[in-house]
Chains A and B, each alone.
Chain A
Amino acid sequence: MKAPFYVAIAMAIGLIVLLGYFLHLDILVNLRIVLLEWAVILSAVALLVGTANLFYVHWRKFTTAQPNGFYSAVLIISFVITLVVVGWFGPTHAYSMWIFNNIQVPIEGSLMALLTVLLAFAGVRLFRRKPNLISILFIGTAILILFATGPLFGINLPGLSELRAWIAQVPAVAGARGILLGVALGTIATGLRVLMGADRPYGG
């Protein structure tokens, strides 16, 4: 397929979906719904392709004896067992749920716990990397919010919870809105570039 042809298709579909949000014409709204449903189906197919890619990456890592190939073997065995169990019994069967509740949830929970320790460590390292006023403010605020949320040894310093509420409701919300404003403008700009065919994250 020639490049201008698929770019034209992508632009036309993008325009229909965008206009379908603003103009409530039956034909536009129906087309938008159908196109979005197609996108969801294609995403599901892409998920299968991605999963096959995950399997093949680890298969090659294991068979070509790359570093830590043992872990790839563990992944391949777990992958096959999960596929057989969930494929045979269904995703809500007791066996499938056992795999989810006793393997996946604890492992992800452990990583979450690790993240807590890591963030505390990262806070200390931030001082070393960027010893400036903003870093002091960043760490100071984090410590203050921590103490106000979960008081150490049950000691509740007077005014601390009010200060926490003020930080969370005034400067934090103001800063978050400023960042979100930039993100929203960036999102519109990116969307319009794709719509105009200036950005083509498809077709190589």
Chain B
Amino acid sequence: MNQLELFGLIFVVVFFGLMLALAILSRTRPVRQFREIPAFTRLRHTIGLAVEAGNRLHLSIGRGKLTGPQSAVAFVGLTVLDRIARSTMVSDRPPVVTSGEGAITVLSQDSLRGAARAIGAQFDPLRGRLTGLTPFSYVAGALPVIYDEDVGANLFIGSFGSELALLNEAGERAGSLTLAGTDNLSGQAVLYATAEEPLIGEETYASGAYLGAGAMHIASLRTQDILRWVIISLILLGALLKLVGVL
């Protein structure tokens, strides 16, 4: 094991330990309020509205491959799906999920099936759809869902590139809310300009904690905050030491 790998392993172990400790602590101590992210406030409102008014929610989980690093943001999309499916499955119009990767499509159907089973609702496997396998064919396949299926809100949470602009534009034209978050840098620049409610950087990964997905989501968010400050301090220290000529 080289020095870099050792550092990586220590970092993962510290991350894991902190998450576990904060999750245990949260059982005895009251959880502090998070800063407000307008996108999640609107999302909670929209979920409530979807059940009352019978609007359909459309969640798109992107094209992140399950065997690559983009799988993490796809898992975040699946967590959001689980939360919204449990809340809206009882409505007249259950949510519809689109994705651009086979394994993610299968997992999204699995999440919908689990949510339907949990509340005793009927499960339709065609609510989880693969719409295309290349960036633009995926978008072209998802556009009819936005235009033709009376969608009240579109949530784009997954791995998207600049093609995300076409989805946001369609949502805007259809008069539905567009909330978007991606792990891709050019995708984030595009969604800042086009989405009604953009999620920038780590905000996407906070989705579970903001939607009440459990104590471990809150603990992992706190851990991210702590370690971010540690990294920022180390970067500043490194810059300072370089400035004075020690490094």
Contacts and interface: CB of A to CB of B under 8 A. Distances in A.
A111 interface: yes
A136 interface: no
Interface string A1-24: 000000000000000001001111
Contacts of B196: 129
A150 to B, nearest CB: 18
A189 B6 CA distance: 19
Interface in B177-217: 183, 185, 188, 190, 192-194, 196, 200-202, 204-206, 208, 213-214, 216-217
Interface string B127-144: 011111111110111001
A192 interface: yes
Interface residues on B, range: 35 or more
A108 B166 CA distance: 12
Contacts of A194: 75
Contacts, number: 205
A183 B185 CA distance: 10
B224 to A, nearest CB: 4
Nearest to A134: B192
A7 to B, nearest CB: 13
Contact of A36 (B67, B129, B190): B67
Contacts of A154: none
B180 to A, nearest CB: 12
A157 interface: no
A189 to B, nearest CB: 4
B40 interface: no
A146 interface: no
Nearest to A18: B12
